[in-house]
Amino acid sequence: MTGRSHQDTVEAREDWERASDRFGTVEGYPGERLPAPALPNAVITPRKNPSPADPNRKAALMSEQTTSAPVVRHVDTRHRYEILVDDDRAGLTAYRDRDDRRVFFHTEIGDAYAGRGLAAILVEQALTDVRAAGMRIVPVCPYVAKFLTKHREFADITDPVTPEVLTWLDSRLGR
């Protein structure tokens, strides 16, 4: 219907509805005839997301998009913590251990799970596990470093990122 005015499109659609046997009367339907599908230029109003200032925002987003609470598990053999949503891996934070320090170097959340606060849940539980293990944290990962600036409760077990640590990490990762 390119090149037609809106009114021409509406009239063509009405002609199509009248001529088509796909739009007839149905027993029990309150209208005279079944309506045709919406016009392609129909306005779609998206749902309103909870305000970032709303204290229940995280819970509202989680309840809309998942059926169960996320679960964080430590996968020691793969040197990472994973967060699961409905038994699917939604993301991970990777590390390498250097003596009594856990060096976090990468955190990711899958696109399908973005915007739900899962990275914060994952990192908080991973850091809590590090504390419970009597280890220290080295935040090479930018997300973990940013998380630590907002969560000072882990400051007492956080060590700075040094060139020596970065060189060591590169050699461990084969970079």
User: pLDDT tens, 150-172?
Assistant: 999 999 999 999 999 999 999 99
Q: How many domains does the structure of the chain reveal?
A: 2
Give a yes or no: residue 56 inside a domain.
no
Q: What share of the chain is helix, strand, coil (3-state, %, to 5)?
A: 40, 20, 40
What confidence tens digit (pLDDT) does each residue in 20-47 have? Answer: 655 555 566 566 655 555 555 545 455 5
166 and 118 within one domain: yes
Average confidence (pLDDT) over 97-111 = 96
123 and 168 within one domain: yes
pLDDT the model gives residue 65: 56
Give a yes or no: residue 167 inside a domain.
yes
Rounded Cα distance, 101 and 134, in Å:
9
145 and 107 within one domain: yes
Give a yes or no: residue 31 inside a domain.
yes
pLDDT the model gives residue 1: 45
91 and 118 within one domain: yes
| Both structure tokens of 98 | 């250097």
List the one residue out of 88, 91, 142 whose CA is nearest residue 119.
91
Give a yes or no: residue 55 inside a domain.
no
- Considering the entire predicted model, what is its pTM? 0.63
pLDDT the model gives residue 137: 97
Q: Which residues contact 172 (CB under 8 A, 6 or more apart)?
A: 96
Give me the sheet containing 88-98, strands edge to edge: 71-75, 80-85, 88-98, 101-109, 136-139
Give a yes or no: residue 54 inside a domain.
no
Could you tell me the residue range of the domain that residue 5 belongs to?
1-48
161 and 127 within one domain: yes
Give a yes or no: residue 160 inside a domain.
yes
Give a yes or no: residue 53 inside a domain.
no
Any idea which residue has 């970065």 for tokens?
166
79 and 153 within one domain: yes
pLDDT range class, residue 130, cuts 50, 70, 90: very high
Give a yes or no: residue 80 inside a domain.
yes
